[in-house]
A and B are shown apart, each in its own frame.
Chain A
């Protein structure tokens, strides 16, 4: 019996060795964050469309976060295997630029895209989808006064210990929330956070933890996107998950992709970018990514059409974010934790 125990791992080795088959090399390699890839994801749709439109092949390499995909490109340097990097947003763009590792996109590529979304002035990263940050609640569980402002939410004693948010130190949506408050309140952001800290139930390292708590009914509010309610309408046929639009404005986060300078398949990589921005793929963005497509005039599903339009949009200044990020983080940790620097 003992020998059987010790043999088990060896048996497991056989199929694993067989798994390590060589991969075909004539395909566009896309570095992305993990949630973008896998079964039933937008990546699958893109793969199929790329084949249809250009008879091209592509392969996605997933990283835990988009930041780590960028780190990998920094590491690989000239020898990089990547042709495309996907998933860069306003808070990461500064670091991506510093690498000087991406090609300027031909201006035609932006044609038909919402020009307001262009957040990379140097024109390397082309936006493919976007969403507005919001605070969500369940209307069956929580009564929220109509037209409530961020400031009022932070001050209302009814909402003590009720918000689940993401840590800006460890997640991009958390960072975006921090940037949002800086845009909305400027230097007053510190006092806003001081007020909000009594409303925070908990802070998770990433989005999944917070949204899980919200759906469990543990947290009344969660930081997510104005488009999140569409998921619950589409897949669960319920309209009680609502997103708040604030008089101070909602922050717009844009996701972009770029061709890697050291790519050895640039022609194919550019074609791939066209597929990403093609009407067919853009149409799939709402129900795969639960974000808005970047292409103007893309037909939206009913659940998206019903979402209230965001009237006041806050947009980050990329170079300011890069310059002040650390200062904002230090201020945030000290205000929310109550520990003096």
Chain B
């Protein structure tokens, strides 16, 4: 068992893609990661909400989540790029900007909370790569991804702002690739791989057509690379690639590249039930699941 970590679920995984939550719990259990729930968490809050109105309100809602983890003495592990960067940036601001910190503490008083700064915020890729370690992941793999060609989609808020997040090399990231190698898979470079999926900042909510135009550029780049599947490390990027390809198909295109959250892929290689950990998608992915786990016969 490792040091105490608290799982930060966010919104999209538990409420729209619970199979990603189920996969995450399965993976953390398999590697004996010592990740438990912190009760009562809310939205991080997304950059499509309060930060567009008032920085103090947005930071206070982040600080509330972090303060709840602090009372249990846990570092937070996030499974979404948005949750990760928003909580990590809020922590950074709270730890570096005394004026903001004092304003936020004043607001937190209304909820009888106080931010101390004693808990860290981690992206689950960092957690798996550094705290769990590649060798322990390798030891849990039952079905190798041998022969599989995969396109990694890092997503903006896994990488940027790199001076605050420090997750990975922002122009040549390697950690997700390391994990996929540990599963026996091969990652393929593609044009546009460090760029945006188009969903963030409220764009998908406000102007879905425009968000889709940005997505199509990414999907074209991936299609040219001739891969078996796309791997994201964020439920919102997952949503954009999975449902976005469906929307593009409805508009007459033939894009149909299976999409997985990294934890879904790891759980499948560990032998988890696909009906629990990879149940929900608009873009079919049974062929990939079968080639990982066999047809069960």
Whether chains A and B associate is no
- Chain B contact residues, CB within 8 Å of chain A: none
